[in-house]
Amino acid sequence: MQLHDSSAPEPGSVSPSEIARFSELADRWWDPAGPMRPLHAMNELRIGWSLAHLPPPLDGHGVARRLLDIGCGAGLASEAFARAGFDVTGLDASSAAITAGRQHLRHHPLPEGSRPLSYRCGSAEDLCAEGARFDAISALEVIEHVTDPAAFLQMLATMLNPGGTIIVSTMNRTLRSLAMAKIGAEYVLRLLPVGTHEWRKFITPSELGGYAVQAGLRVADIAGMVPGLGGWRESRDLGVNYIAQLVRD
């Protein structure tokens, strides 16, 4: 079982067991029928919603805005944001996932005119220590895996430029999410490997709002994400999956 290579920095916000779990899935990250198929299925919705709530990719001078895709895995969202015109840094604590992302990008180059996309193995703490700053940050299906959600969101806020936006998608801690996202998805339907999620670490919208306030942010918009026969769609139902726009005024 590979945690990370010797050159990878020690992560502070993500536990080694979480890194190991997702590292084991890295080789099949881009397989739409593989263990990450739920992410593939919801990716169009979450990217579309994100782009509708992020600042325009180019600033008033025609310069691409910098976007950090934290917990990027092998780059499903990172590539989409780069195609949209952002200057993207994909960050993940799993060296195996970052390697998979780089390989996919090498074999499937972004269309001409796309903005730069670079991958880096590391943690939020690394970037904070370097004084890195971004105009936008995406943390999609990440915050429920970190060791301290409040501290994690505070780190993201520290790296956000004034007027910037953070997009967070996660799962609500409800009995319905226990039945559907944990027991149903992992044990009954086998949509995800067993152990992918820990239900007690799911985050309610009110908890996310509290963490945002502590970090000097506010929830500007929030929506549910629900699956259907025609694919995932936006909903007012926040009972299982939801996505939120956090802004610094």
C-beta of residue 211 within 8 angstroms of C-beta of residue 201: no
Check whether 46 is labelled as a binding-site residue.
yes
Decide: residue 234, CB within 10 A, 0-12 exposed, 13-18 middle, 19+ buried: middle
Check whether 71 is labelled as a binding-site residue.
yes
Pairing of strands 160-171, 66-70: unpaired
Check whether 92 is labelled as a binding-site residue.
yes
Distance CA 185, CA 29 (A): 17
Neighbouring residues of 203: CB distance < 8 A, sequence distance ≥ 6? 143, 144, 149, 170, 171, 172, 173, 211
Q: Which residues are annotated as a binding site?
A: 46, 71, 92, 140
Q: Which residues are annotated as a binding site for S-adenosyl-L-methionine?
A: 46, 71, 92, 140
